[in-house]
Amino acid sequence: MEFVSPEYQDHFLNPRNVGLLEEPDGTGMCGSSECGDWLIVTIRVEKGKIGEIGFQCRGCSAAIATSSAATELARGRTIEEASRIAASDIEEAVGGLPEDKRHCSVLGEEAIRDAIADYIGRSVGRSNRTK
């Protein structure tokens, strides 16, 4: 087995923020065309920040570890900050990835951005209805 960092092992064995939120403010999804794995992220926004976040993932150990790390990076951040979380930030948070697993961290980046886009879309819909 290739070397994986202690951070990677910890996120894989004890993933944070597992499970989808009920009635979230935003839901995002990303699937990998490379391997068919997927990630769903749900968020609750409180005062412009990601107050709660939960995920469900079907994927390899790296997908699970990076999804856990991605949700930890996003929780407590403003939606602007969270939307700037890049795959490279997620990879760094798990102490690096084997070369053939680097695409796994893209799931977190894209699913979080998709959830934020969904949240913004719903907010626009709500404000249009009140006009």
Nearer to ligand FES, 41 or 104 (CB): 104
Q: Which amino acid does the sequence have at 11?
A: H
- Is 104 noted as a catalytic residue in this protein? yes
Ranked by CB distance to ligand FES, the top (closest) residue is 35
Nearer to ligand FES, 31 or 51 (CB): 31
Nearest-approach distance from CB 33 to ligand FES, in angstroms:
9
Contact by Cβ (8 Å): 11, 68:
yes
**Which one of 30, 35, 57, 60 is the catalytic residue?**
35
- By CB under 6 A, what part of segment 58-77 binds ligand FES? 59-60, 62-63
The set of long-range contacts for 83-87, using a CB threshold of 8 Å and a minimum separation of 24, is 83/112, 83/113, 83/116, 85/109, 85/112
